[in-house]
Every structure is written in structure tokens, then in C-alpha cells.
Amino acid sequence: MALKLVIIGGGSSYTPEILEGIIQRQDTFPVNEIVLVDIEPGKDKLETIGNLGKRMIHQANANINLSWTLNRREALVNADFITTQIRVGGLQARSIDERIPLKHGFIGQETNGAGGIMKAFRTIPVLMEIAEDVQEICPDAWIVNFTNPAGIVTEALLNYSNHKKVIGVCNIPFNTQHSTAELLDVKPEEVLIEFIGLNHFIFGKKVLVSGKDRTEEVFDRLIHRETNYTPANIMPLDWSETFIQSTKLLPNPYHQYYFQTETVLEKDLQSYQENGTRAEVVQELEKSLFELYQQPNLKTKPKELEKRGGAFYSKVACSLMDSIYNNKNDVQTVNTQNNGTITDLPADAVIEVNCVITKDGPKPISIGKIPSPVKGIIQNMKAMEDLTIQAALSGNYQDAYNAFVMNPLIQDEKKAKVLLDELLEAHKAYLPQFKQ
Ligand code: G6P
Ligand code: MN
């Protein structure tokens, strides 16, 4: 049987990771056609990745026909799965998202604060177009979206596009599960963390190891700094005993932006002066990755790719697609529609949640109420995400301003305008909807 995967943003430096994941799963998830899609400015990178991919497939003796194209609509014909990993405006745009807020004394980050909102403004319209193409050309296909801000983008597609088979993924839950397993010296499959929240804003409520509650032990060892599940893009910071013991929740590395704002800002400003922002560090990293990828004797995914914050994202994506294909009914943490799973969030909100993965997609496992300490901030973040989506779709200035001023990392009525005006101007080439 034919099984076709289309990777949109195929020229990304991350692509060898997903190719490796597919090659390793040939027995259970027999993808036999992969098409990499990119746009004109990414043509050279696409070709480099395509040629490396061919060498990887040949080396592994896998039965996969790999090709690449700039024609997205053609690529989508007969697709079963589509992964989306695009960066509208490239790392250049990310650098602007990080630099402008920092310049005004705010956190500048890929998916948080003003930068995260701008990334959503640039990305949502493009993903909407992709989803409409999918609905028209291969309506039965699943879109697995990694494009950031993944939760917000997934919500925009599920609520406003005609294609409803969309799932958002991130490596944060995976990283947390794996580092917890390492800490407790057990296998990752034995660890089940009950998560609650949103993409890049989830908390761990409970840690079960083969059904046994070991939450307290994990809290204790986190306090004593025995574990660190921070991805490469975030500075590892400690959590105080009081924070962990009072909230009784396992934070994720992105929470430092909200609960250690001053410390992070100080450190970010310092590293910005020393090495530039993360986008600039990643630009250098990419340069050396692509030099490596061009070497004809490279036939596997190089270890250096693990220096990227998104390392292992494709393990998450591949096991998700494998479980859908095989109707595995296993539990994975993905971004999907709430529909009553968390009782104090809107039904149409996209949440990051443990789901049973079936051939009909993810079935969220009921959670109930949000724990009191973080109820307000999670509701606030969700409301801000919704404002962001409204503005991304309408291109209306007031809508955009509302998202900015209500963002917990901004919340300053005058500076919100300064930031928004400067960012809209800097990104205008990628914001056709804001022309007015
Ligand atoms: C984390 C996040 C990803 C994000 C990445 C950034 O892993 O979960 O969503 O894309 O970091 O990593 P980078 O290497 O691009 O800074
Ligand atoms: Mn992520």
C-alpha cells in the first residue's frame, strides 16, 4: 500500500531528523513516498537536504522514494500525512522579534511576548492557505504542525480553516518525560506525566511510574537540581523550593519568562550583547550544519543537530503518525481542541494535553479543573492567544494592540503601542493583512 508524507518546509535544517525517524519506523509505519516542499528563497537548502535524504535512505536500504519541489499543490496529491515546519521571513525575522522587544526592556523570544505574537501574525495566514490546499487536494490527510507558535497556529487552523484533521506537536512534553525517566532510572515508556495547560505553557500535575505516584520525589529532586529538562534555546534556571511546594506543579522551561521575568531579561540582555540573540546563534549553527549536510560522505543525521532547541521534535511527530496509522491507542501529549477536557477553558480552545491516539486522531483524556494557583494565568494566556488569532486573521490594528497590551509579558499601555508600531513596520513585507 502506498503511504505518502509531504514535508512543508522541507529545506529546514531539522529535516534530517524527521527523515531518520521515518527510516527507523519502516517496519511499522511504511512510508514509501516523501516529498519535500519549500519556497524559492529556500531552493538551495531544499536541494542540499534532498540529496542528503537520498544518501540516508540509500545507506539504510529503505524503500522510500524521496523527491523535492517548489510546487506545493502538486506535492499534496495523494498525501496521507503532511508535516508543516515553516518559518515565514526566516531567522532574520526571528532576530527582529527578539531584538526589538529587548531594546525596549521586554523579553524578546521566538514564541513568547511580543515576538511570539508577531510570529503568529506572519505565520497564521500562510498556514491557513496550506490547510485550504490540503482540504481541496487531499482532504483525508492529517496535518501535523510543528510551526510555532504551535498551539496558537493549531487553534487558528482548527477553528478557522475548513480542514479539521490538524494536530500540533512540541518536544517539551517529550523532553520532560524523558528527563524524568532518566532521573528516576526507569524507561521513558513507564513514565506518564499528567500535564495541564497550553503549548509552551504546560505544567506537570502528577508523575506516575508504571502507575505508581512519584510526584513528590520528582519535585524534591527538581528542587535539589538533580534534573534539568531545558532545551538548548533556553537558559537553564532553578526553581525555588517555595514555588514548587506551594504550586505543587512541575513547571516547564518556558515558565521562567513569566515567573522569573527580571532574571531572564537581565541574562538575555547580557548574552545579546555578548553573542547576539538566539536567532543569531542559530544562524551560525545552521551555517555549519549545512556545510556538514553538503559533504557527500555524510549519510546519517549528524549529532550536531541536537544543539537545536527543537531536537527530538520528529520523534514526537513520527510516533504520533505511527499511532494514527496503526490505531495504537497509546497515550501521547499533543495540541488539540479542548471540548470540555479542561472545564474552565472554552470548548474551542486548543490545549496541550495527554490523548489516546487512534486512527481517528487524538482523544483527550479528561482533566477537569485547572489547579487554583495557575488557573488565572492559564486563562489569561488562552485569552491572549485568541486575541492574537483574531488579529492575525483580521489585520486590524486595534485587534493587534489588544493582543499586545494583554500579553502578560507586556501589559503596558504606552509601550505596547511603541512595540507594536516598530514591529509592524519592521515586518511589513511579511504582513500583507496589516497593509492598512
Ligand atoms: C524548543 C521548542 C520549539 C522551538 C525550539 C527553538 O524546543 O519546543 O518549539 O522551536 O525550542 O529552538 P532553536 O534551536 O531554534 O532556538
Ligand atoms: Mn515547542
Of all atoms in ligand 1, which is nearest to the CA of residue 170? 8
- Specify binding-site residues for Mn(2+): 170, 200
Residue range 356-391, pLDDT digits in tens: 999 999 999 999 999 999 999 999 999 999 999 999
Is a pLDDT exceeding 90 seen at residue 277?
yes
Q: Which of 18, 84, 171 to mutate to test the pocket of ligand 1 (most atoms within 8 A of CB)?
A: 171
Give the Cβ contact number of residue 320 at 10 Å: 25
Of all atoms in ligand 1, which is nearest to the CA of residue 307? 14
- From the list 120, 95, 85, 109, the residue with the least C-alpha distance to 13 is 85
Ligand 1 atom 16: residue of nearest CA:
233
Residue range 394-405, pLDDT digits in tens: 999 999 999 999
354 strand-pairing partners: 333
CA distance 58 to 43: 23
Ligand 2 midpoint to CA 143 (Å)? 16
Q: What domains sit in the chain, N to C, each tagged with a CATH number?
A: 3-169 (3.40.50.720)
Is a pLDDT exceeding 80 seen at residue 226?
no
Q: Output the DSSP codes for 348-392.
A: T-EEEEEEEEETTEEEEPP-BSPPHHHHHHHHHHHHHHHHHHHHH
Ligand 2 midpoint to CA 1 (Å)? 33
Is a pLDDT exceeding 80 seen at residue 312?
yes
Ligand 1 atom 3: residue of nearest CA:
310
Of all atoms in ligand 1, which is nearest to the CA of residue 281? 16
**Catalytic site residues?**
254
Q: Which of 305, 308, 316 to mutate to test the pocket of ligand 1 (most atoms within 8 A of CB)?
A: 308
Q: Which of 86, 88, 110 to mutate to test the pocket of ligand 1 (most atoms within 8 A of CB)?
A: 110
Q: pTM for the complete prediction?
A: 0.97
Burial class for 408, CB neighbours closer than 10 Å (0-12, 13-18, 19+):
middle
Ligand 1 midpoint to CA 231 (Å)? 7
- Specify binding-site residues for substrate: 94, 148
CA distance 336 to 326: 19
Ligand 1 midpoint to CA 212 (Å)? 31
Pocket of ligand 1 (CB under 6 A): 110, 148, 170-172, 231-233, 278, 282, 308-310
Cell of 337: 481542541
- According to the model, what pLDDT value does residue 114 have? 98
Q: Beta strand 142-145 with 33-37: parallel, antiparallel or unpaired?
A: unpaired
Average pLDDT, the chain: 96
- From the list 184, 181, 212, 207, the residue with the least C-alpha distance to 194 is 207
Ligand 1 atom 2: residue of nearest CA:
310
Residue range 7-48, pLDDT digits in tens: 999 999 999 999 999 999 999 999 999 999 999 999 999 999
Which alpha helices (DSSP H) does 3-42 contain, by range?
15-24
Give the Cβ contact number of residue 92 at 10 Å: 11
Ligand 1 atom 13: residue of nearest CA:
309
- Specify binding-site residues: 94, 148, 170, 200
Ligand 1 atom 11: residue of nearest CA:
309
Residue range 41-81, pLDDT digits in tens: 999 999 999 999 999 999 999 999 999 999 999 999 999 99
> CB within 8 A of 224, min separation 6: which ones?
none
Is a pLDDT exceeding 80 seen at residue 229?
no
Ligand 1 atom 10: residue of nearest CA:
310
Ligand 1 atom 12: residue of nearest CA:
309
CA distance 41 to 386: 31
Ligand 2 midpoint to CA 436 (Å)? 32
Q: Which of 92, 200, 233 to mutate to test the pocket of ligand 1 (most atoms within 8 A of CB)?
A: 233
Contact criterion met (CB below 8 Å) for 97 and 118: yes
Ligand 1 midpoint to CA 176 (Å)? 14
Q: How confident is the model at residue 155 (pLDDT cuts 50, 70, 90)?
A: very high
Of all atoms in ligand 1, which is nearest to the CA of residue 175? 7
Ligand 1 midpoint to CA 13 (Å)? 12
Helix H or strand E segment including 6: strand 4-8
